[in-house]
Amino acid sequence: MISGVLTLFNWTLKMDSKSIYPHVIRAVFAFLMMFSIGAAFVNAFGNNSIGLRLFETICLFNVILITVSGISYFVTAVTEEKDAGTYALLRLAGMNSLSITLGKSTSRLVSSLMLLVIQLPFTFLSITLGGILWQQIVASYIALAAWMALVANLALFCSVRCATSGRAAGLAGTILGIFFFSPVIITNGLAALPAGLLSKSVTSFLESIPPALSSVSVMARLSELLGTSSFNGIPFSGGASGGNLPLGASGRELAFFGGQFWLSLIIAFVLFVFSTLTLDLWSAPAEVSGFSSNQKLRRWSVSRCWRLAIAWKEFLYFTGGRSFLITKMVCGGVLVAGFIFFQQLEGRFSGLTLQGENGWGLLLTLTGWLTIESLLYSSGCLFYEIRQSTQSTLATVPMSSTRVLAEKLAGCAMGLVPVLFWMLVAVLIGYASISDHCSATMVISYLIILSFSVHISVLLSLYTRWAALPLTILVSFPAFFCLAAPIYALAVTTEQIARSQHFRMSVLISALVNMFWTWLFILLPLQIWIRDRWNHVSEH
């Protein structure tokens, strides 16, 4: 199975890089349809809502895909011109702000909406499986389309506001992260705070934020449409016969366009207008300024070049250097202190030890941080050289391409030191909580899947201009279901064999064996592929 996936992947990447994204998107949509059908039939016996389960899975995948596209595909609408220094050429060609935003952003939105339209014939299959009506399907896709319009125009605003694609993606990701996670944080935080700590006006304001965000949330709208046994107050029995919905039976017409649809379109329109009006204001050429002329600040920020010059360059110019390293270290400390603080507010535990769900929650948060940062570094470290047209210059350096790639890996790995350090701290202060939820086998499986995703991200960055990160997520998601079960089963089997032979370090032996076989059959071919592709790109 893995060999077949890699063969198909290789064939896809042999096409022109500009045509990769649509083909991979279509292939992933086909896989998601097949996976959703399989997941729906897991609990098929004794359940007459198989079609509902199928469609819920499809909607969840669509929400994930649209959100990821917002911080990768839509967000480069204007910044790709800024990065290439061609924005001024567009204005010299006589294009005004409206034509640029319509041509660069709205065209992408229309083409992406077509991906939702082509799903409809396949999703209507869920009607025949029972538990859902065609009216629910249409209303759900209308909600997804509104969410896509909102995300696309939010990404357009970030693209207009920021000078580079990386900053725009970071801003868009931060805004979407706040949108999804702030209701949970506010709700749990207010519940944990002692009464009277905040004034009534502040508490009322904070309590009003989750309902306000819920009115625009596509997940809330989908839950309203699919989470109950009725649609707009009209009960249904499911199956083919359930498709004949008696409109007006509840005394009102069927509401295909809910409040989420209209609010999303209004916000999207406001963002589009604001982006168009401020395009010239925020699109001045980005000045490539060096470090401070102050010798002390320069000595602190740059320092002397290391013996491993490429690793030094990667650490300093790509990951942010020592200043950004210290910033991430401080942010990690604030995060850990926040979990300890909220545990103290609960009044059940004391000291620096995290108990209950706090230790496990902290580790999951840091694991997400590690995953995101690893994928960002892997998708950008080589693409940055291609965008700056410096890959040919690196090829003239008297060292092998393998060493060049190894030093770039070392430079990026140093940027991960803060999150790795705080993960170790989380394990030490929350070991009792973590051990109840996590095992060594789960850790090994996560590391293997993360290594696979990082290699795929590096490889895709050598073929695509902007879609390496979303394509990595789309490829890694189905690969997870192909690889996770065999890897987990092999880890358990190896550990049992080691225990039967009375080896004391059975877990360590299991980890080494699994990592070796994974590297030999999966990661090593990808590494050779990356090296060959890098050599090919460096020759042009």
d(CA 512, CA 400): 28
Average pLDDT over residues 383-393: 79
Give the Cα separation of 460 and 383 in Å (integer): 9
Length of the chain: 540
Write down the pLDDT at residue 309: 85
The beta-carbon contacts of 8-16 under 8 Å, at least 24 apart in sequence, are: 9/475, 10/529, 13/459, 13/460, 13/463
Please tell me the distance from the alpha carbon of residue 507 to that of residue 438, in angstroms, as a whole number: 14
Q: Residue 43's pLDDT is what?
A: 54
pLDDT, tens digit, 9 for 90 and up, residues 416-457: 999 999 999 998 888 887 888 887 778 877 888 889 889 998
Q: Six-digit token pair at 439? A: 């095992």
CA pair distance 434, 428, nearest whole angstrom? 10
Tokens of 214: 């819920």
> In sequence order, what are the beta bridge partners of 382?
none
- Average pLDDT for residues 509-537, to the nearest whole number? 85
Q: Which is more confidently placed, 105 or 255?
A: 105
Closest C-alpha to 135, from 72, 55, 201: 55
Mean pLDDT of 87-96: 79
Taking the alpha carbons of 381, 382, 383, 389 in that order, is the dihedral positive or negative? positive
Question: Residue 458 above 70 pLDDT?
Answer: yes
- Give the mean model confidence (pLDDT) for residues 22-40: 60
3-state secondary structure 339-379: HHHHHHHHCCCCCCCCCCCHHHHHHHHHHHHHHHHHHHHHH
Cα 375 to Cα 468: distance, rounded to the nearest angstrom: 9
Element (H, E) at 468: helix 468-500
Question: pLDDT digits over 200-243, tens only?
Answer: 888 888 888 888 888 888 888 888 888 743 344 433 333 333 33
Strand partners, 296: none
pLDDT higher at 294 or 461: 461
81 compared with 260, residue with greater pLDDT: 260
Measured CA to CA in angstroms, residue 174 lies from 157, 181, 485 at distances of: 13, 10, 33
Per-residue pLDDT for 32 more than 50? yes
How buried is 91 (Cβ within 10 angstroms: 0-12 exposed, 13-18 middle, 19+ buried)? Answer: middle
**pTM above threshold 0.85:** no
- From first CA to last CA, the distance across the chain in angstroms is 34
In 204-285, at which residue ranges do the beta strands (DSSP E only) sit?
230-231, 234-235
Name which residue leads in pLDDT, 13 or 451.
451
Residue 364: pLDDT above 50? yes
Are the C-beta atoms of 70 and 172 separated by less than 8 Å? Answer: yes
Nearest to 435 by CA among 493, 486, 487, 507: 507
The whole-number pLDDT of residue 302 equals 55
Tokens of 68: 């990821």
Residues 296, 298, 304, 310: what is their CA dihedral angle, to the nearest 10 degrees?
160
Question: What average pLDDT is seen over the chain?
Answer: 76
Q: What pLDDT digit, counting tens, does each position of 120-174 carry?
A: 887 887 787 777 888 888 889 999 999 999 999 998 998 888 877 767 877 888 8
CA distance 448 to 512: 11
CA atoms of 291 and 299, how far apart (whole Å): 10
Cα torsion angle, 429, 433, 436, 441, sign: negative
pLDDT-wise least confident of 4-8, 24-28, 75-79, 498-502: 4-8
Q: What is the pLDDT of residue 270?
A: 93
Going by the DSSP 8-state scheme, the letter that residue 13 receives in this structure is H
- How far is it, in rounded angstroms, from Cα 505 to Cα 522? 25
